[in-house]
Amino acid sequence: MSTRIDRRFEALKKEGRAALVTFVTAGDPDYGTSLKIISGLPKAGADVIEIGMPFTDPMADGPAIQAAGLRALAAGQNMKKTLKLVKEFRKTDRDTPIVLMGYYNPVYVYGVDKFLKDAKSAGADGFIIVDLPPEEDTEFCLPALKAGMNFIRLATPTTDDKRAPKVFRNTSGFVYYVSVLGITGTKAPDLKSVKANVNRLRKHTGLPICAGFGVKTADQARAIARDADGVVVGSALVSAVEKSLTKTGKATAKTAKAVHALVADIAQGVRS
């Protein structure tokens, strides 16, 4: 069964270009502005949209995404509203894949089966749950696959050839190659190692490989797009949200525009 994610990557392959995968946090800085940001992403050049489900304790994220999650929670975001956001987005866009990304606890507390059912009917296509390695596949990955959704896994520089088959066994949609050792948005990716690792991982999987963690500029995106099937940009967009806010953390007229402008700029890099 092919999903929106599969179809999107097939189409891009025919076009002969890499995907731009954008990450923003649901409800940051508030529900309305967040919907406006997300709704404008496809037009700005995003091919796949990752929506962060806010969590108080995002252990693999750097300061920018942590702060975004806390801003969203402070503005009243919760899982129900995140699913509502997806649903409202789907009314305006039927083709751009949505990946919900986050940590397991809010999903576990919502209830795995109920979450899968509600996420699917809202129009989400896949998931990245950072703290669910293959060792915990029975928790959520297998039920998600059974529900016809994609479970996208992170591969890292520590995913060596011995471990790679285990990591990819139940991965679908695409592989998210984390280009640096560390948390999101802190170090810049080492482009040489991205190339070597993406090529190494291709021996283990036929899935599209997108690379990210630390991508901030069109030039970086352009370089990565040469070797990978997609470029993921997250912290830079979330930082653009932050920079556009008032001193008290409220959205301004610039907020959505700032994100869309940065996406458009990076999209040019990916497409050139």
Partner 1 sequence: MNVTNPNSFRMGPDENGLFGIYGGRFVAETLMPLILELEQAYKDAKADPTFQAELDGFLEHYVGRPSPLYFAERMTEHLGGAKIYFKRDELNHTGAHKINNVMGQILLARRMGKKRIIAETGAGQHGVATATACARFGLECIVYMGEVDIERQKPNVFRMKLLGAQVVPAKSGSRTLKDALNEALRDWVANVEDTFYCIGTVAGPHPYPEMVRDFQSVIGRETKAQMLKREGRLPDSLVAAIGGGSNAMGLFHPFLDDKDVEIIGVEAAGLGLRTKTKHAASIAGGKPGVLHGNRTYLLMDDDGQIIEGHSISAGLDYPGIGPEHAWLHDMGRVEYVSATDKEALEAFQLCCQLEGIIPALEPSHALAHVMKIAPKKPKDHLMVMNLCGRGDKDIFTVADILGTKL
Catalytic residue among 30, 61, 125, 242: 61
Of residues 66 and 96, the one with the C-beta less far from partner 1: 66
Three-class SS state of 21? strand
What is the sign of the dihedral through the CA atoms of 5, 213, 128 and 166?
positive
184: amino acid identity, one letter: T
Q: Collapsing DSSP states into helix, strand and coil, what is residue 233? A: strand
d(CA 221, CA 194): 12
Angle between helix 218-227 and helix 254-271 axes, rounded to 10 deg: 40
- 61 is known as an active-site residue: yes
Nearer to partner 1, 105 or 252 (CB): 105
Catalytic residue among 6, 30, 50, 227: 50
Report the nearest approach of partner 1 to the CB of residue 58 (Å).
Answer: 8
Closest distance to partner 1 from the beta carbon of 206 (Å): 19
Q: Applying CB under 8 A, which residues contact partner 1?
A: 54-60, 62-63, 66, 70, 73, 78-79, 103-110, 130-136, 153-160, 163, 167, 178, 181-183, 186-187
How far is 22 from 159, CA to CA, in rounded Å?
23
Q: How far is the CB of 164 from partner 1 (least distance, A)?
A: 11
CB of residue 67 vs partner 1: minimum separation in angstroms?
8
Which two structure tokens, joined as six digits, stand for 184? 């999101």
Annotated catalytic, 50? yes
Catalytically active residues are 50, 61
